[in-house]
């Protein structure tokens, strides 16, 4: 009996170590400069899309590598070469990337059209978005045997896009969240806001992670072309994307840590329980059904670290989840009177704080707690 329990304890301890090690896995970003080589992309008066997006991609990568050693960076191309559309997504999938960023510029006959937009995968009914997707997907036509390679998909045929009406993107919410971060950055830089949009891009459909396609601007607009070619313009655009990457990564890691923490808590609890059994010590719960009073401070949609500045220096911070919200509490008191006294002390910091009660880690109402003898 003793050796069986000892084995179980060691097994659970190993699981805990593996969970902790997994939390340190680097965050992988794949940067995909569109077009390249024999495919120039959109053509302006003095520049090709392929050159502008490669320059922006390399600057973005350099900024990430310089400031974020915890990010594993991969390019689909870092020179002027042609890369097949399916190869771009294959690179991201093979790397098990956390984020895929395809960078492009747009081009239309109307030279007055301007602005930046960020696309996620989807079948938007706007014909304008379908036409943008057709232009970007048409790179397939430059590949040999594209009919077989892409299973009959014709980027110029409206019928080929019917398939996208029935797709289910498991990463849609995350893709939109990242796209919004990028687009908000563009707006802050006074770029004409063309919004976060959806379109049936093959390269996004074939990736298995949060993915976006960024249209930096219109190379066919002379003013935009000058901006997209300039150091100032490229640096501004790169900074917007970079800031979005860092914020998205931090949010992703906070959520991963929270999930790992829950798993580790379960494992650690099992270790403690079985260690007690191995020592043949009977753990008698001293008191059951005793309410614990806490002070709820606020709630957020993303998990905050207990040392976050939002807690204004308070310690003994905890949280519980209800639906999609993290609700943060302060302290743990045995009586409502003690909790009320403490709430009064922190009223100047958190005027909207209120008392919540838990029994056996389940929230109950104050009325229910008061009714207990």
Task: Determine the Cα–Cα distance for residues 12 and 40; give it in Å rounded to an integer.
Answer: 56
The closest of 372, 373, 369 to 292, measured between CA atoms, is: 369
Are 248 and 296 in a shared domain?
A: no
Are 96 and 165 in a shared domain?
A: yes
Instruction: Judge whether 60 and 241 are in contact, CB under 8 Å.
Output: yes
Give the mean model confidence (pLDDT) for residues 308-314. Answer: 85
Question: In the structure, what pLDDT confidence band is assigned to residue 135 with cuts at 50, 70 and 90?
Answer: low
Would you list the DSSP string of 103-149?
Answer: EEEE--S-TT---EEEEEES--S-HHHHHHHHHHHGGGGGSTTHHHH
Q: Looking at residue 153, what is its pLDDT?
A: 58
pTM of the predicted model, to two decimals? Answer: 0.61
Task: Determine the Cα–Cα distance for residues 205 and 169; give it in Å rounded to an integer.
Answer: 8
Q: What is the dihedral of CA 310, 312, 315, 319, to 10 degrees?
A: -30
Task: Determine the Cα–Cα distance for residues 248 and 28; give it in Å rounded to an integer.
Answer: 12
Residue 264 in any domain: the answer is no
Are 239 and 358 in a shared domain?
A: no
Based on its alpha-carbon atoms, the radius of gyration of the chain, rounded to whole angstroms, reads 27
Range of the domain at 367: 292-371
Q: Looking at residue 202, what is its pLDDT?
A: 75
Residue 6, token pair as written in the block: 């000892």
Are 185 and 236 in a shared domain?
A: yes
CATH label of the domain that carries residue 228: 3.40.630.40
* Element counts in the chain: helices (H) and strands (E): 11, 11
Q: Looking at residue 182, what is its pLDDT?
A: 96
DSSP letter assigned to residue 26: P
46 phi/psi in degrees, rounded to 5 = -135, 5
The closest of 243, 241, 221, 245 to 105, measured between CA atoms, is: 221
Residue 287 in any domain: the answer is no
Please say if the pLDDT value at position 296 is more than 60.
Answer: yes
Domain end residue (candidates: 196, 225, 252): 252
Instruction: Judge whether 182 and 214 are in contact, CB under 8 Å.
Output: yes
Domain end residue (candidates: 252, 277, 305): 252
Alpha carbon 263 to chain centroid, angstroms: 21
Are 113 and 190 in a shared domain?
A: yes
Residue 105, token pair as written in the block: 């510029």
Residue 275 in any domain: the answer is no
Are 206 and 312 in a shared domain?
A: no
Task: Determine the Cα–Cα distance for residues 34 and 85; give it in Å rounded to an integer.
Answer: 9
Residue 75, token pair as written in the block: 């390019």
Residue 127 in any domain: the answer is yes
Are 247 and 298 in a shared domain?
A: no
Task: Determine the Cα–Cα distance for residues 304 and 254; give it in Å rounded to an integer.
Answer: 7
Look at residue 372 and give its three-state secondary structure.
coil
CATH label of the domain that carries residue 324: 3.30.70.1070
258 phi/psi in degrees, rounded to 5 = -65, -45
Residue 280 in any domain: the answer is no
Cβ neighbour number for residue 201 with a 10 Å cutoff: 26
For residue 332, what are the β-bridge partners?
none
Please say if the pLDDT value at position 2 is more than 50.
Answer: no
Q: Give how many domains the chain has, as a whole number.
A: 2
Are 68 and 141 in a shared domain?
A: yes
Which carries the bigger pLDDT value, residue 148 or residue 126? 148
Which carries the bigger pLDDT value, residue 111 or residue 265? 111
Tens of pLDDT, residue by residue over 15-26, are: 544 444 444 578
Q: Looking at residue 287, what is its pLDDT?
A: 43
Residue 243 in any domain: the answer is yes
Give the mean model confidence (pLDDT) for residues 69-90. Answer: 93
Tens of pLDDT, residue by residue over 230-276, are: 999 999 999 999 999 999 999 888 887 776 555 555 555 554 555 45
Are 189 and 329 in a shared domain?
A: no
Instruction: Residue count of the chain, please give it.
Output: 373
Tens of pLDDT, residue by residue over 151-185, are: 555 555 555 444 444 444 568 888 999 999 999 99
Residue 138 in any domain: the answer is yes
Are 74 and 160 in a shared domain?
A: yes
Residue 324 in any domain: the answer is yes
Q: What is the dihedral of CA 299, 301, 303, 307, to 10 degrees?
A: -50
Are 94 and 193 in a shared domain?
A: yes
Q: Looking at residue 199, what is its pLDDT?
A: 79
Are 299 and 245 in a shared domain?
A: no
Domain end residue (candidates: 252, 277, 312): 252
């Amino acid at each position: 009996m003793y050796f069986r329990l000892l084995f179980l304890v060691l097994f659970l301890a190993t699981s805990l170590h593996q969970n902790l090690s997994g939390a340190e896995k680097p965050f992988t970003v794949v940067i995909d400069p569109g077009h390249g080589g024999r495919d120039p992309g959109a053509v302006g008066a003095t520049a090709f899309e392929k050159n502008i997006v490669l320059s922006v991609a390399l600057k973005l990568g350099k900024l990430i590598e310089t400031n974020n050693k915890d990010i594993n960076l991969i390019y689909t191309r870092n020179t002027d070469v042609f890369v097949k559309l399916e190869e771009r997504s294959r690179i991201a999938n093979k790397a098990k990337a956390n984020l895929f960023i395809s960078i492009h510029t747009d081009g239309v006959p109307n030279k007055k059209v301007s602005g930046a937009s960020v696309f996620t995968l989807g079948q938007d009914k706007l014909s304008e978005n379908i036409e943008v997707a057709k232009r970007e997907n048409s790179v397939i036509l430059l590949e040999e045997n594209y009919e077989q390679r892409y299973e009959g998909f014709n980027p110029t045929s409206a019928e080929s896009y019917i398939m996208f009406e029935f797709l289910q993107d498991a990463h849609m919410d995350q893709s939109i969240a990242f796209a919004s971060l990028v687009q908000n950055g563009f707006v802050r830089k006074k770029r004409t806001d063309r919004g976060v949009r959806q379109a049936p891009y093959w390269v996004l459909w074939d990736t298995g992670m949060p993915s976006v396609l960024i249209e930096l601007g219109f190379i066919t607009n002379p003013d935009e072309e000058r901006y997209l070619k300039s150091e100032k313009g490229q640096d501004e655009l790169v900074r917007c994307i970079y800031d979005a990457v860092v914020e998205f990564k931090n949010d992703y890691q906070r959520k991963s840590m929270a999930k790992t923490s829950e798993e580790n808590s379960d494992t650690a609890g099992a270790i403690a329980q079985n260690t007690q059994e191995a020592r043949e010590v009977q753990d008698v719960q001293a008191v059951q059904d005793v309410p614990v009073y806490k002070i709820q401070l606020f709630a957020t949609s993303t998990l905050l670290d207990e040392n976050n500045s939002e807690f204004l220096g308070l310690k003994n911070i905890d949280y519980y989840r209800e639906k999609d919200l993290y609700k943060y509490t302060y302290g743990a008191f045995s009586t409502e009177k003690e909790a009320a006294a403490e709430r009064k002390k922190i009223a100047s910091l958190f005027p909207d704080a209120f008392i919540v009660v838990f029994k056996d880690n389940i929230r109950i109402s104050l009325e229910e707690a008061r009714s207990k003898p």
